Structure 1
């Protein structure tokens, strides 16, 4: 992941502020469970581990980069100050913009910058995925599932806002259902990639494993 971020920094040159890859790199390197990329790799190994391990790791990295995008945007929506034991992206950016500005101005600039950094993480996730040298057959099995997973992030009901919902409460509760299904999808991705089995059979296998972990199934 660090090598990819550095390659993107060199490729963009002065167009990309040095702060951006630094912030993303720190978020991705911070303490965390890494359950999503781990499920991706473990599912591939459970299915026999055939093929190029570097491809699997790159797809797993793309999923973790996608997760970073959701974390950054979630933290802005939830007004969170800490993520993985460190200040959130919008909080660190607000501190960076603080000199010479009012607290309100610095906070707004921090949020705006964090949203842009999150958007870049989404683009880089796509870049990681589409340079993983998937075969046409692998792409046909895996990409629709990743598209569905990405779309779920933007479902309106995930915002969870409404009368009587406290700050941060609705967003966290509303998005929890989508997150549960997304976790199981990471396992499905590796299973669909590794073996050409019927999709329904792999869905049952992946969901059964997910239930043992205490997470739900993706919405149909």
Structure 2
């Protein structure tokens, strides 16, 4: 349904998840659809935003490619990797930021900001995201990302292909860390050079700094939870909030309204929208990480289980499992030697304990809360329509 409304952002309203369709999830989504009718957003608006973001990234990276080429020819793969990372994705973060600005631009001093400059400014969020993806893949030991080798895997392969000296895996890890760092540096530069006014840039910086601190802190909390800290469902939700949920919806929205110079009432509305919607987005990511179709997600459906990711799915499965189920989790979750049938057994456990149903219900409930907050927000009508459509697309996606 939303594929025709939001081309390139979301597929059918029901994700193509591995396993049998569960009746509880279907009932939950049907109830949500009754409470909140399907939104609409002109495809032209989305296409224009996507094209503007890609143009801003391409122009910026072309300049950086020239700069790095002047340093040494061997730096070409570095900028090529950032470009490859920035070329993928759904552009959700710039979309939320842009529509936050559009919704509040007539309420504050940012009404005179140039539309093209704002689009360049919010495009910088894609470099923050690229940085987080690279570093996350290193820490998780991921193999693929968006249908291509993860950055550290790709550079390790380049080390072998070029017959370089030393340990190829260490080379790949080191290169990936630096690629991620460079993407973060470039995010600052693109924001600063976007062309928005000094006042707007000053207002944006406060949100920008908070967002980047939260992302980094969230990555550490993820490591801590994997090592046994922050146990239980609340620990999983804390990691989800700071590692990805905040910088996916809440902070981008706040970045947009900060550029607009909106007042406290609008900022409060972005929190009411962003926190539940960001959580729902991350929980959908967790479900796809275990039950998604690899041909759609671009990564193996076994990766999250092999890496031992301590998501809410796992926390609720562990709570509801019997002794045999908990032994299965202990033996197979995070076991690099586990086989396909072992991961199928883990999926079955997650289904049988009701953990997947509970997560789907929470996604539906959080999405409904966010959509209600959007409807009540002191934002322009066109922005609310766009944000509502984005909310549905972000939480019913297949990749």
**TM-score band, normalised by shorter chain:** 0.7 to 0.9
Residues 85, 185 of structure 1: alpha-carbon distance in 2 compared, 3 angstrom cutoff: same
Separation in structure 2 between the aligned mates of residue 174 and residue 204 of structure 1, nearest angstrom: 20
Aligned-pair CA distance for 1:173: 7.2
Separation in structure 2 between the aligned mates of residue 158 and residue 55 of structure 1, nearest angstrom: 35
Residue in 2 that maps onto 1:168: none
TM-score normalised over the length of structure 2: 0.48
Separation in structure 1 between the aligned mates of residue 91 and residue 272 of structure 2, nearest angstrom: 20
Residues 159, 203 of structure 1: alpha-carbon distance in 2 compared, 3 angstrom cutoff: farther
Moved more, 138-147 or 205-214: 205-214
Secondary structure class of the residue paired with 2:279:
coil
- Name stretches of at least 5 consecutive residues in structure 2 with no aligned partner: 1-56, 230-235, 281-399
Residue in 2 that maps onto 1:203: 267
Aligned-pair CA distance for 1:135: 2.3
Residue in 1 that maps onto 2:252: 186
Are the aligned partners of 2:105 and 2:257 in contact in 1 as well (CA < 8 Å)? no
Q: Which residue of 266, 277, 281 corresponds with 1:213?
A: 277
Q: Residues 104-115 of structure 1 correspond to what in structure 2 (within 5 A)?
A: 105-115=167-177
Moved more, 126-135 or 93-102: 93-102
Q: Residues 94-105 of structure 1 correspond to what in structure 2 (within 5 A)?
A: 94-99=156-161, 100=163, 105=167
Are the aligned partners of 1:44 and 1:193 in contact in 2 as well (CA < 8 Å)? yes
Residue in 1 that maps onto 2:93: 36
For these two proteins, the number of residue pairs brought into alignment is: 206
Residues 76, 188 of structure 1: alpha-carbon distance in 2 compared, 3 angstrom cutoff: same
Is 1:89 the equivalent of 2:89?
Answer: no
Separation in structure 1 between the aligned mates of residue 133 and residue 237 of structure 2, nearest angstrom: 15
Residue in 2 that maps onto 1:121: 183
Residue in 2 that maps onto 1:176: 240
Residue in 2 that maps onto 1:58: 120
Root-mean-square deviation (CA), in Å? Answer: 2.5
Residue by residue, what CA displacement relative to the aligned partner does 1:84-136 show, whole Å, maximum 9, x if unpaired? 2221111111111124479x921111110011111111111111011123323
Separation in structure 1 between the aligned mates of residue 188 and residue 170 of structure 2, nearest angstrom: 28
Moved more, 10-19 or 154-163: 154-163
Structure with max Cα Rg = 2
TM-score normalised over the length of structure 1: 0.83
- Name stretches of at least 5 consecutive residues in structure 1 with no aligned partner: 166-171
Q: Which residue of 23, 26, 29 corresponds with 2:84?
A: 26
Separation in structure 1 between the aligned mates of residue 186 and residue 171 of structure 2, nearest angstrom: 22
Secondary structure class of the residue paired with 2:167:
helix
Are the aligned partners of 1:188 and 1:206 in contact in 2 as well (CA < 8 Å)? yes
Residue in 2 that maps onto 1:147: 209
Aligned-pair CA distance for 1:45: 1.9
Secondary structure class of the residue paired with 2:271:
helix
Separation in structure 2 between the aligned mates of residue 48 and residue 197 of structure 1, nearest angstrom: 7
Residue in 2 that maps onto 1:169: none
Are the aligned partners of 2:245 and 2:275 in contact in 1 as well (CA < 8 Å)? no
